[in-house]
Amino acid sequence: MQAVILAAGEGTRMRPLTESVPKPMLPVADRPLVAHTASMAADAGAEELVLVVGYEADRVRDHFGTEFEGVPVSYAVQEEQLGTAHAAAAAREHLDGEFVVLNGDDLYDAAAIGPLFEGGPAVGAYEVEDPRPYGVFSIEGDRVTGVVEKPDDPPSNRVNVGAYRFPAEAADWLTEVELSERGEYEITDVLERVVDAYDVRAVPVERWLGVGRPWELLEANEWKLAELDRRVAGDVHETADLRGDVVVEQGATVDAGVVVEGPALVRSGAELGPNSYVRGATLLAEDTHVGNAVEVKNSVVMRGTNVPHLSYVGDSVLGEGANLGAGTNVANLRHDDQPVEMTVKGERVSTGRRKFGVVVGPGAKTAINTSLNAGVVLSAGATTTPGETVLRDR
Nearest CA to 6 among 159, 134, 163?
A: 163
| pLDDT value of residue 313 | 98
Range of lowest pLDDT (120-134, 216-230, 274-288, 338-352) = 120-134
For the chain, the domains span 2-212, 224-390
Per-residue exposure over 343-367, b if at least 16 CB sit within 10 Å of its own CB, e if not: ebeeeeeebebebbbbbbbbbbbbb
The answer to whether residue 154 scores a pLDDT higher than 90 is no
How do residues 193-208 score in pLDDT, each as one tens digit?
998 999 999 999 999 9
Average pLDDT score over residue span 162-178: 92
> What value does the mean pLDDT of the chain take?
94
The answer to whether the pTM exceeds 0.85 is yes
What percentage of the chain has pLDDT greater than the value 90?
Answer: 79
CATH class of the region 224-390: mainly beta
Say yes or no: do domains 2-212 and 224-390 share a fold.
no
Task: Find the catalytic residue in 36, 86, 289, 309.
Answer: 309
Instruction: Please check whether residue 302 is in contact with residue 319, taking contact to mean a CB–CB distance below 8 angstroms.
Output: yes
Q: Is the pLDDT of residue 373 over 80?
A: yes
Q: Is 309 a catalytic residue?
A: yes
Question: Over the stretch 175-190, which tens digit does the pLDDT of each residue have?
Answer: 988 887 778 888 888 9
C-alpha separations of 354 from 111, 122, 244, 297 in Å? 30, 37, 25, 14
Say whether pLDDT at 112 is over 90: no
Q: Is the pLDDT of residue 371 over 90?
A: yes
The C-alpha atoms of residue 21 and residue 380 are separated, in whole angstroms, by: 12
**pLDDT score, position 6:** 95
Q: Worst-scoring range by mean pLDDT, 126-130, 348-352, 379-383?
A: 126-130
**pLDDT at residue 320, as a whole number:** 96
Average confidence (pLDDT) over 16-24 = 92
* Closest C-alpha to 103, from 5, 227, 33: 5
Q: From CA 352, how far away is CA 345, in angstroms rounded? A: 17
Q: Is the pLDDT of residue 74 over 90?
A: yes
**Can you tell me the distance from the alpha carbon of 371 to that of 369, in angstroms, rounded to the nearest whole number?**
7
Task: Give the N- to C-terminal CA distance of the chain in Å, as an integer.
Answer: 47
Nearest to 101 by CA among 111, 89, 119: 89
CATH classification code of 2-212: 3.90.550.10
pLDDT digits (tens, 9 = 90+) for 241-252: 999 999 999 999
Q: How confident is the model at residue 385 (pLDDT cuts 50, 70, 90)?
A: very high
pLDDT of residue 40: 94
pLDDT tens by residue, 40-50: 999 999 999 99
Residue 111 has pLDDT above 90, yes or no: no
DSSP codes of every residue in 97-109: S-EEEEETTEEE-
pLDDT bucket at 82, cuts 50 / 70 / 90: confident
Q: How many CB atoms lie within 10 A of CB 246?
A: 23
Q: CB under 8 Å to 249, separation ≥6 — which residues?
A: 231, 233, 234, 265, 266, 267, 268, 270
DSSP-derived pairing of the beta strands 27-28 and 31-32: antiparallel
- What is the structure's pLDDT at 182? 78
